[in-house]
Structure 1
Amino acid sequence: MADVEEVEVVVAHHECATLRIGDVFLKVDADQARTDVEVEAMARAPVPTPEVLWRKPPVLALAALPGTALGRLGEPSPASSAAWAAAGSAVRMLHDAPLPPWPGRSLDEIASELDGECEWLGTNGVLPADVVTRNRRVAEAALRPWTPVFTHGDLQVAHVFVAGDEITGVLDWSEAGRGDALFDLATLTLGHEEHLGDVVAGYGTDVDLDVIRAWWSLRSLLGVRWLVEHGFDPASPGCEVDVLRTQAMRDRRERGSASAAQ
């Protein structure tokens, strides 16, 4: 590393930062509990993860994964349908693994957070009231009891790496825990609905697509304020605000069709 002249800031915000120096990623996090979860989750996960090179709090050093990200939110994915299916298969392996010993967020916690975020969105005029109301209604389908599985917890498309049609690794496990399997599938396909069928095919079992779409709304509603307060733009093309608008239009269309049928 002494010969490396360039330091790349991969991501940085008020809570943590990730730097790349050559083939090494340095994650700096003030909350070492999150790092504890990440290291333990990677050790337990039955899918490829980055190699932990060393840990000197508050820094965690990880080896770079081979390949490239499956995609980016707001951009068309360059990956093949087979690669997306492989991602679905990897998620199924994770969900079939033994549960981690620590809990995830409870249903009541998520519902309470959703109420608060919807109130904030409405009070601050971030989105039209109709968009918030329709997505809040769609999100209700996700707020039901589920059988907990080992979830990644933040399975964004950029966190899954592929080489050709094969998964080479999954990044960022700090939010891993016990949770709803469909939340992981929804997070992976957020903004990439065109690949939902590929992921479900690779996952290999029937899933409730309405619940996945409900999680699209719920995750996006929960994420807007965090993104704004940490210097990101949720209104970038194809990102959370676009997802919410698309979900609202779908709800409007479906309810209009149902009314016409009556």
Structure 2
Amino acid sequence: MEEVEVVVAHHERATLRVGDVFLKIDADQTRTDVEVEAMAMAPIPTPEVLWRKPPVLALAALPGTTLGRLGEPSTASPAAWAAARMLHDAPLPPWPGRSLDEIASLLDGECEWLVTSGVLPADLVTRNRRVAEAALRPWTPAFTHGDLQIAHVFIGGDEITGVIDWSEASQGDALYDLATLTLGHEEHLGDVVAGYGTDVDFDVIRAWWSLRSLLAVRWLVEHGFDQSSPGCEVDVLRSRM
């Protein structure tokens, strides 16, 4: 009999694995709607939808291995890192992402909470808040994954075999995806940018590292994750000092 593996579980959603099937259970069916539609539109391989019976979505496992893990060196080739360029070749999804004003408001609120709660030192928050401001500029909307962590990208050799977890997909800044992909793996930024094939503002990438990390800490704390694990968000914030 195959065992049930808990891949991730928190108050909002859980993912279980049984053999080659992943069962995603989400309290918010809007996120699942986005995931299914985004996977159908994506210009790169995605998991096959086996069935859906709310609140459960069943997906087939992808071949290959993940591009890497936060806090651990990646053994993937430079060509594999560069292959992520294919993501933004798709037409825009019909639903919008967060506006600049929404992101700026979220950033202000999270920075205030981080300082008043004492979760992070004020100087660490202030410094990264200043760095993050470079990301708050107009951009040309692209089809973005929205949570393009290296653990969500599967590879076989130098090729991408698939990308998982599309519930945050929307119109957005392509550089945000590149920043998420290289979060905690700055040494591979050059590989990713070389594969992207256009002029990329490295200061904006660094700004998104700080901004994403500042926005993530409270969520991680409230959902029982260790935000200070090696290579994770607090490490990234400290590296900006």
Tell whether 2:53 aligns with 1:56: yes
**Aligned-partner residue type, residue 109 of structure 2:** G
2:18 paired with 1:25: no
Opposite residue 175 of structure 1, the aligned amino acid is: E
The CA deviation at 1:96 is 2.6
> Equivalent residue of 1:123, what SS?
helix
CA distance, structure 1, for counterparts of residue 53 and residue 118 of structure 2: 43
Counterpart pick for 1:140 among 110, 133, 139? 133
CA–CA separation in structure 2 for the residues paired with 1:195 and 1:241: 19
Of 74, 82, 85, the residue aligned with 1:85 is 82
SS of the residue 1:79 aligns to:
coil
Residue matched to 1:11:
8
Task: Supply the distance in 1 between the matched residues of 2:10 and 2:73 (Cα, whole angstroms).
Answer: 25
Displacement after TM superposition at 1:98 (Å): 0.9
Aligned-pair identity (%): 87
In the alignment, which residue of structure 2 is the partner of 1:72? Answer: 69
Task: Show structure 1 runs of 5+ residues with no match.
Answer: 249-262
The aligned residue for residue 147 of structure 2 is 154
Letter in 1 for 2:75: P
Once the two structures are superposed, the pairs formed by residues 1-262 of structure 1 within 5 Å of their partners are 3-4=1-2, 6-87=3-84, 89-90=85-86, 94-248=87-241
Q: Deviations over 1:72-93 (max 9, x none)?
A: 1111112111211122x22xxx
Shift of 1:192: 0.3
SS of residue paired to 1:26: strand
RMSD: 0.8
- 1:254 corresponds in structure 2 to none
How many Å separate the matches in 1 of 2:57 and 2:75?
30
User: Which residue identity does 2:232 align to in structure 1?
Assistant: C
Aligned partners of 2:193, 2:98: CA distance in 1, in Å? Answer: 24
Quick check: 14-23 or 126-135, which moved more?
A: 126-135
Structure 2 letter corresponding to 1:222? L
Using the TM superposition, give the Cα deviation of residue 238 of structure 1 relative to its aligned residue in structure 2, in angstroms.
1.3
Q: Runs of at least 4 residues of structure 1 off by over 6 A? A: none
Deviation, 1:237, is 1.1
DSSP 3-state at the match of 1:119: helix
In 1, the alpha carbon distance for the partners of 2:140 and 2:160 equals 26
Letter in 2 for 1:190: L
Question: Unpaired runs of 5+ in structure 2?
Answer: none
Amino acid at match of 2:171: R
Which whole-Å deviations, capped at 9, do the CAs of 1:85-110 have from their partners, x for residues lacking one? 122x22xxx32321100111111111
C-alpha displacement at 1:35, in angstroms?
Answer: 0.2
